[in-house]
Amino acid sequence: MLCHGRLKASFIPPAPIRELRDLTRYCKRLVLERAREVNRVQNVWETATSKLSSVATAVLGKRGREMLSALIDLTTDAEILAELARGNWRKQLPHLQQALDGRVQAQHRLLLKHLLAHSTFLEETLEQLHQEIEQHLCPFEETMALLMSIPGIAHDLRNEL
């Protein structure tokens, strides 16, 4: 059938769509990798202390990063670390102090330092990638406007962070 021209050719999207597809697929992989890094940080932190996840959910939020940095910089006093808590974490201060009291060793600090650096790198890379995706979306403004008119569809790439 191919010799007689009876088969249709495969659809190959235009170059701008292929480029956008490559960028979004890579972005998705980076988001998944960042989620794995967050899990690794939480795992190491819980190995070094106790069940922090029962008290804190956003381990790599602003305050969580401050606590991690203090922990990396040899601060082991649970009360000092807990004083860095703000917002909802502050409400559970006694539980947080108890969760932060542990046996942090040199390998925990080293792992946390590298995991924190890698997580920061991934966040910066994702931010740059999102800007690049925004630029590649410019030719598709009309299509994007139609998509955004669907309830439940939003144009916010930052939600992946």
Q: Which residues have CB under 8 Å from 136's CB, separation 6+?
A: 16, 19, 20, 23
Calculate the average pLDDT of the chain.
82
User: How far apart are alpha carbons 108 and 116 in whole angstroms?
Assistant: 12
Q: Does CATH number 1.10.287 belong to domain 15-138?
A: yes
| 64 in Cβ contact with 58 (< 8 Å) | yes
pLDDT tens string 55-86: 666 777 777 787 778 877 877 666 777 677 76
| 27 in Cβ contact with 129 (< 8 Å) | yes
**Hey, where are the domains in the chain?**
15-138
Average pLDDT over residues 27-45: 92
Average pLDDT over residues 104-110: 86
